Structure 1
Amino acid sequence: MVPFIAFLMYTWALLPILVACKEPPPCVFPFLFNGRYYSSCTQDGTPDQQLWCATSENYDKDHKWKPCAISEYGGNADAKPCVFPFIYMGHTYYTCTNKFAHKGRYWCATTGSYDKDKKWSYCADTRLDASYPTGACSFPFIFEGKAYSACTTDGRPDGKLWCSLSSNYDANPMWTYCEPSDPAPCIFPFIFRNKSYSSCIKEGSSDGQLWCATSPNYDRDSRWKACSLQEHGGNSNGQPCFFPFTYKNQTFNDCTNEDEENVRNGRFWCSTTENYDVDHKWSFCADTNLRSGEVILAGQDGDQCVFPFTYKGKTYTGCTSAGTINWKYWCSLTKNYDADRKWKNCEPSDLKKQDEPQP
């Protein structure tokens, strides 16, 4: 053990020179160290708790190693961090991949689509763990005899979304969590290929899954997420919504992004019992339940705003952005939105007054 520690201390001092001379080989997982196999970076054997990995399958025999990179590096994107999910060759990845990589080194896209932007970095070594499979979600996939074309919570008591990495999970149980690196909500409407969409779409998806942009303009930002078809997460472990429900003494017939918990980050949620104020049980909403931030019927071109109108028990005498996730102003097409649910996005000519809720 002592020679190994001395070797680590000496080579760490030389690391900038070594890196400048040659890019180190990738970690090899699992590897053997002191008679034990390691499937990820370890601090064992180091004097200063630095993470390291072997660069051969057997450190005890070959003594080949490197310090683990704790952030993305290299590539053509100036070492920008990974963005999950990303599209590569038409498939959806929530993990780093070594597909077609130099020397098997794991990499990731740094935008939502490698196919579109061709930007990538090598993955931080600390993202890698031989205990967990890597690869693309396989849509559709079979689970318990049923076909799935999107991430699902079925089979998970914690309500987390997951996908199979094989076309038949029942025969080949390889899977990964569907966890985006940026848990941003869908933004409706969004621009894709110069067309506006106000709900989840399949256009542009080679594996047939529903998706949405997480910025107003996908063409510009390449930011997106796979749409969930089920409630998921929350402290009720993905239990379905209960409508109507009471929150802050108001009645909600739809999902809401009104938020008293930072963990939601503006994402739409619902109570899973009749009264959230009493039970405090909730789930994130299925993205397929959302339309432009509301489950509502939009008006037609030429329809006129009706002022004042009532929305969630408040009276508005002008256009408002209340209840939206895109901050666009809208108005009701009847005196009572809560009863009729007819609306339209406001035009500049409609913005006669600012948002004025009344008692």
Structure 2
Amino acid sequence: MALCIAFLLYIWTPFLQAANEVSRPCVFPFIFEGKLYSTCTTNGTRKNQPWCSVTSNYDKHRRWKPCTLTEYGGNSGGKPCVFPFLYQRRTYYTCTRKFSKGRFWCSTTGNYDINRKWSYCADNRLEESYPTQPCFFPFMYRNKLYTSCTTAGRTDGKLWCSVNRNYDMKPSAVFCEPTEKSPCSFPFMFKNTSYSSCTKDGSIDGQLWCATTSDYEKDSKWRACATEEYGGNSNGAPCFFPFTYKNQKHSSCTNEDEQHGRYWCATTENYDVDFKFSFCADTKLENVEPLETGNHNPPNKLCVFPFIYGGKSYSTCTTDGFNSQTGWCSLTDDFDRDQKWKYCTASDVQSQNSTRPH
């Protein structure tokens, strides 16, 4: 017993009169030796073990806990958090303590409302400056209404959302950083319906979203859709089309050589020369082209064969350049110039066959 006490005192030198309260959450900020801490700290220990106070003033109350560095407990057995997740049909990018008696928790799937799987959050995920509320859509920022995460007002290209209706009146925000880096998967199934673009269906807060696998009902994996370019070493600068990459012209976003499969674009005419890029808006990826969303099967419009795409001539419908297995065609003889297109139908396939030499 004496050895155990000596060991604890060796590790936790500032806590000679402290109470270790593992079941209570960290309180940020807290005061230790007259200084204010907004995160877990190793100060005051001989070992590199982070700790936090469970009251706002450690010097006064001397109550603390070792900080957990991974998720723990819950009915998921400590599986990692998944961000964003839906809880009561709201979009969360951070842990929350709503209805949890003060302890922070997260969903371990993309949709708590469906799967009901959760863990307690690692303490090092929490800090005083990091809000724990869901995104609020739509929100006001500089007298403009936003219905999705935005890079507005930032120079680093990071997506963010307000946790209040009006950011200008009550500035508090979170970064919209998903755990999973995978891009949207178009088309995807949701409630027995196939979606080929981002949708608001099923989202009470109006957040545009997409599945990152072909079947949302099966996998519950999704991401909030970005409506503008973001990140990259251009810090969210707009795409430049067409651009050159590896001596090839690109008239659309590409996921070539991106480790997570995310779609990107050059932000200058020649990536091979300037090496500048941003990640593409998800709302531009339903066909991996920089086009407006909406119906891309306009009535009474016929494919034009042959047509030019990416500097190459096509005499048939193709899936090249599109994140979809559905064939498409140009509505003019030069897609690179006019950016007019549609999904192919049975009559279009017959038309392409009639243009082939016999």
TM-score if structure 2 supplies the norm length? 0.81
Match of 1:277, SS?
helix
Which residue matches 1:54? 53
Change in CA separation of 1:206 and 1:10 when aligned onto 2, cut-off 3 Å: same
- Offset of 1:254 from its aligned partner? 1.4
Q: Deviations along 1:107-136, whole A, 9 cap, x unmatched?
A: 111111111211111100010001222211
Q: Which amino acid aligns with 2:238?
A: P
Match of 1:349 in 2: none
Q: Tell me, yes or no, if the aligned pair for 1:143 and 1:168 is still in contact at 8 Å.
A: yes
User: What is the Cα deviation at residue 323 of structure 1?
Assistant: 3.6
**Is 1:279 equivalent to 2:277 in the alignment?**
no
CA distance, structure 2, for counterparts of residue 341 and residue 333 of structure 1: 4
Per the alignment, residue 258 of structure 1 pairs with: 256
| 1:97-246 alignment runs, 5 A limit | 97-102=96-101, 104-246=102-244
Change (3 A) 1:47 1:229: same
* Percent identity for Structure 1 against Structure 2: 56
SS in 2 for 1:142: strand
Aligned letter for 2:246?
A: K
Q: Using the alignment, how far apart are the partners of 2:267 and 2:304 within structure 1?
A: 34
Inter-partner Cα distance in structure 2 for 1:61 and 1:112: 41
Aligned to 1:73: 72
After TM superposition, give the deviation of residue 61 of structure 1 in Å: 2.7
1:257 touches 1:323 (CA, 8 Å); kept in 2? Answer: no
Shift of 1:331: 7.3
Partner residue in 2 for 1:83: 82
Aligned residues of 1:5 and 1:46 also touching (Cα < 8 A):
no
| 2:70 and 2:121 in contact (8 A); partners too | yes
Task: Name the counterpart of 2:31.
Answer: 32
Distance 1:45 1:234, change over 3 A: same
Unaligned runs of 5+ in 1: 13-17, 347-359
Residue 43 of structure 2: aligned partner: 44
Deviation at 1:211, TM superposition (A): 0.7
Structure 2 residue matching 1:60: 3-state secondary structure? helix
Distance in 1, matches of 2:11 and 2:231, equals 47
Inter-CA distance 333–251: structure 2 relative to 1 (3 Å threshold): closer
Are 1:337 and 1:343, in contact at CA under 8 Å, matched by a contact in 2? no
Instruction: Tell me the CA shift for residue 177 of structure 1.
Output: 0.6
Q: Deviations over 1:9-62 (max 9, x none)?
A: 4789xxxxx99xx96222222222112121111111111111111222222233
SS in 1 for 2:265: strand
Measured in 2, the distance between the counterparts of 1:5 and 1:209 equals 54
Shift of 1:90: 1.8
- Cα distance in 2 for partners of 1:187, 1:276 equals 26
Q: Do the aligned partners of 2:110 and 2:222 also contact (CA within 8 Å) in 1?
A: yes
Structure 2 Cα separation of the partners of residues 242 and 156 of structure 1: 20
Is the 8 Å Cα contact of residues 306 and 331 (structure 1) preserved in structure 2?
A: no
Question: What amino acid is aligned across from residue 45 of structure 1 in structure 2?
Answer: G
Counterpart code for 2:278: S
CA shift, 1:199, in A, is 0.4
TM-score by length of 1: 0.80
Which deviates further from its counterpart, 222-231 or 245-254? 245-254
Where 1:181 maps in the other structure, the secondary structure is coil
1:267 aligns with 2:266: no
